[in-house]
Amino acid sequence: MELSQRVLCIVIIPAIIFIATEGVSISNDDWQLNDSPQEMTDKEEAGIGRQVDEYIRHRFYLENDPEFNAVVNSIVQRVAAVSDRNTLSFTCTIIQSPSINAFSAPGGYIYLTYGLLKFTQTEDEVAGIVGHEVAHASLRHASKLYHEIMEILSHQDKGINDAANLLLLNNHLEEFEQDADTKGVFYAHKAGFNPTGLLDFLERHYVLLMHRRMFGMPGSGVTATSDTRLNHLREYISTLEKKE
C-alpha cells in the first residue's frame, strides 16, 4: 500500500548504500537535493530490486499457496498492464506476517503481508493498494530517492546537518506517498476497479490505528495514515467521479 519508512530503512536504503560502496560514482557538483536530474537506469533498478528480493526471501516466510498467489497476482497484472511502465515485469510476493503492510522495491517487485490481505474486504481495495505500489515504480520514486541519498552521503563530511537531511527525505517520502495514492487510484480505475478501494482501506486502517493509540498500543508497520492524506485522496477521487 505505501512505501513504509521502516521497511525503507531496513531493506531499500541498505541496498542502495551497498551499491554505492561497490563503486557507483557520485557527482562533485554543488548539492541540489530537490533538483537532481539523475535517475537510476533500468539496469540499476533491476539490480537493486533483485538484492531486496533476495533479502526478503531469506528473512521472511512467504505464502506458498498457489491459488492464493494466483488470485493476488492476477490483480497485480491487471493494474500493471495499464500503468506508465507496463514493460516492467511486475511480481507480487505475499509475506506471512500478521502486520498490515505493503511496500515495493525497484524493478517491479511488490510485497504484501498476509495481515494486509486479511484486512482488505474487496478486490477493489487490493487493486488500490497494488496500484499505489505500481505507481511508485512508474513514478521512479526509488530512483529519485536513490540519488538524494547518494547526494547526502557525498556531503557527510561537509557539515550538512543530519536533521535537515532527514527532514528533507521525510518531506519527499510524504510527497511520494500522495503522488502514489492518486496515480495508483487512477491505475486501478483504468483497470476496471472501483477507484474508492484504496480510500476505503485507508479510512478503515486509520480507525484501527487511532484505536490502538488510544489504548497505548503501537501502530502497525505501514506509514501512518493521516487526515491530510485522506482528504487529498478524497478530493482526487471526486474529480474522477465528475468525469464519468
Predicted confidence at residue 48, as pLDDT, reads: 83
Which residues, in sequence order, are bridge partners of residue 93? 111
Query: What is the CA 112 to chain-centroid distance, rounded?
Result: 11
Residues of the chain with pLDDT under 70: 1-39, 147-148, 150-172, 214-225, 243-244
- Distance between terminal CA atoms of the chain? 26
Predicted confidence at residue 122, as pLDDT, reads: 97
Predicted confidence at residue 120, as pLDDT, reads: 96
- pLDDT tens for each residue of 21-46: 333 322 233 333 344 445 678 888 88
Which residues, in sequence order, are bridge partners of residue 91? 109
Q: How far is the C-alpha of 46 from the C-alpha of 147, rounded, in Å?
A: 16
CB 199 within 8 A of CB 233: yes
Which residues, in sequence order, are bridge partners of residue 94? 112
DSSP 216: T
Predicted confidence at residue 134, as pLDDT, reads: 95
Q: How far is the C-alpha of 227 from the C-alpha of 163, rounded, in Å?
A: 25
Which residues, in sequence order, are bridge partners of residue 92? 110
- pLDDT tens for each residue of 82-97: 999 999 999 999 999 9
Predicted confidence at residue 220, as pLDDT, reads: 40
